[in-house]
Structure 1
């Protein structure tokens, strides 16, 4: 039995209804145009569903590749056709122009859908046709303009957000069209799509913020980002008092970094090393350097002992109805959220912990409490969150 042609309605709309050389376009009323615009959006969703059904009904890779490439090529031809119509005087009318824009947007969405879902069946190193590239750049620019304020607001450091936006704007504003591949275009489209979703989830799985996690996932191996990332870590590490603390903190940052996921096929610059490889090498080199130069310190062992002996002996302490692990989590969160300002996180623990005790322990070592903040158990996290929520409820009664 012959398969249904999913693009039939869209093809007819473009080939006949919108064709200035046919009589149909002139007979369209404003209500007809509105109805066609709404129908195009519905068809776009249905076409995606139908394409998935057709792809999964086939079993041979050669058949899958042929089917995907056929629909991808057909959509590019339809896109070229619509953009050709827009040069006609008839499309100076705002209602016709709006309808063509809707259709172009739908075609661009369908092409992106195929390129993301079925990239393995496309020749991603092929050159993007100029019409499709121009349309995609315009669509991306609209999204970036809308995204810019949100990204700047969500990311505390404007330098960080601007280095990502500048890279994307450079791509959409470039004049070059003859050598852009589908891989390069798809990367920018997917990155922008994920940036639009940034901040919708409040779950943070590591010490790195959501934008860092996204760029590492997307293999954003831009030299400017690599320099920014390593500079931020270096500044944070250099603020610690001793080399022992710096090595400990570097190991912790490296552990969290290694646990982050990366996209298996996405990379900004395929000709360069992956972002994970570059940054992993940086961490390893920094740790090795600090470990090799430990002996250059006047006397690290004495220094540590001096710090421990120099702790203020406090007799009148506050008893906290939490465990040591839970106190550690709250103090770390207070430091990393910038609620407390100190020279380093170690300094926060050093100045606060000696004044605290728990129901089971009167003397707390600030260094021991600090180390426990790096190994959060789910139960301790849940209790710490419950206590903070209780504080919020209490504050609302004032």
Structure 2
């Protein structure tokens, strides 16, 4: 294993050169301060490059975890020391203050580098040191302010944007002395990085759904966002009048939702379920509800007269046969009848073309034979279940004849 200590120069600088208890800091000249600033910049880039080489040369996960953890802890200690020194009177000199600010920036960048590239090797549920938290919140707030003022978010859903920034500002502005973990800080850093990528898209490429996709990808399991997202889908579904159209719209929304990828190992609130699980369950419950409405829907009847003992009948002006099954379910029966040669025609298309024009459903009078034929090839489990139950009832009925 390569035992080279990459932080050696920075370690000596913080521990001895800039330590008033061990060195006469006032003896450092402005020229030397400038050289330290330039050297610090070089070291920041050098350490990142060499650290990657060091990690990729290791084969054992345990070794990598130890190296990453040790460097991460050391950088936090250095950052604490530098922030503490910044309050000393010796560092009020402009050139030395520039040195301190450069070191704070250097350690922050190196910490972000390790946390972004090697998060799986860090103990993320440990409490963040106070000084590190102050620096992280300050930098996060600067990035949040920049994001909020950018034109990027004027294209996106205003309510989602408000929920997002309320959450981010609540985190960076919080003064409560509660435990903040590395996981919580790292999540915000990763989320902001994803949000910044929106700024690289052309205005023409931006869509109102772009932000929602990022929040789902980043497992932003905020209760406010989940409630708003489901309400948006519900509003979209409720624009349709018939249960069949509602179901088709819901299935389309569910399909679009399932196509959104999710980032492994990230979550806004570890104490709640993943957003994918929560929203998938919501979609499934909505589908079950609509399925029951379809299955038990009452056929609209028109009374011949007002007499209480008169039986209501279906509109006699229609020459179509009303089928209580949905379009998808009827399609399954016709397809199976063709393939089993119960209905014999020159082609399956001919079966649908001949029969479908004479059928209607409780929610649609004029059916497209071509559309029904296409749907017979994408059978949903719930439709198969209903068809099977219907056929079983028919079998039971025939047995009683």
Q: TM-score, normalised by structure 2?
A: 0.69
Which residue of the partner structure matches residue 188 of structure 2?
188
2:158 match: 158
Change (3 A) 1:94 1:288: farther
For residues 2 and 247 of structure 1, what CA distance do their matches in structure 2 show?
A: 61
In 2 relative to 1, CA 87–34 (structure 1 residues): closer, same or farther, beyond 3 Å?
same
> What's 1:27 paired with?
28
Aligned-pair CA distance for 1:206: 11
Rounded to whole Å, the distance in 1 between the matches of 2:241 and 2:100 is 63
CA deviations 1:96-142 (Å, max 9, x no partner) are 33332232122112112212222222211111111111111111111
Give the aligned partner of residue 170 of structure 1: 170
Structure 1 residues 123 and 2: CA distance shift in structure 2, 3 A:
closer
Q: Shift in Å at residue 51 of structure 1?
A: 1.0
The equivalences for 1:1-398 within 5 A come to 3-21=3-21, 22-24=23-25, 26-29=27-30, 32-150=32-150, 153-201=153-201, 209-294=209-294, 295-296=296-297, 299=300
**Using the alignment, how far apart are the partners of 2:176 and 2:241 within structure 1?**
50
- The 1-side partners of 2:263 and 2:231 are apart by 24
Measured against aligned partners, the alpha-carbon deviations of 1:47-70 in whole angstroms (never above 9, x if no partner) come to: 111111111112222222211111
Please list the CA deviations of residues 148-188 of structure 1 after superposition, one character each: whole Å capped at 9, or x if unmatched.
11266444332221211111111111123451111111111
Q: Which moved more, 1:270-279 or 1:205-214?
A: 205-214
Asked whether the equivalents of residues 152 and 161 of structure 1 are also in contact (C-alpha less than 8 Å), the reply is no
CA deviation map 1:208-233 (0-9, x unaligned)? 72211111111100000001111111
Length-normalised TM-score, structure 1: 0.69
Cα pair 1:217 1:261 within 8 Å, conserved: yes
1:34 Cα offset (Å) = 4.5
Structure 2 residue runs of 5 or longer lacking an equivalent are: 302-313, 319-367, 376-401
The alignment's C-alpha RMSD in Å is 3.2
Pair member with larger Rg: 2
- Work out the CA distance in 1 between the residues paired with 2:156 and 2:195: 15
Kept in 1: contact 2:156–2:211 (CA 8 A): no
For residue 335 of structure 1, what is the aligned residue in structure 2? none
List runs of 5+ in structure 1 lacking aligned partners.
Answer: 307-364, 373-398
Query: CA distance change for structure 1 residues 273 and 204 in 2, over 3 Å: closer, same or farther?
Result: farther
Equivalent position SS for 1:293: helix
Distance 1:204 1:128, change over 3 A: farther
Alpha-carbon contact 2:221-2:267 (below 8 Å) kept: yes
CA distance in 2, matches of 1:171, 1:111: 19
Alpha-carbon distance, 1:18 to partner: 3.2
For the residue of structure 1 that corresponds to 2:236, the secondary structure is: helix
**1:207, 1:256 within 8 Å by CA — same for their partners in 2?**
no
* TM superposition shift of 1:143: 1.2
Quote how far apart the aligned CAs of 1:41 are: 3.1
Deviations 1:259-292 (A, max 9, x none): 2111111011111111000000111111221221
Q: CA deviation digits over 1:230-253, x for unaligned, max 9?
A: 111112222224322221111011
Residues 112, 292 of structure 1: CA spacing in aligned structure 2 closer, same or farther, 3 A cutoff?
Answer: same
Give the C-alpha shift of residue 33 in structure 1.
4.0
Aligned length: 307
Q: Tell me, yes or no, if the aligned pair for 1:155 and 1:161 is still in contact at 8 Å.
A: no
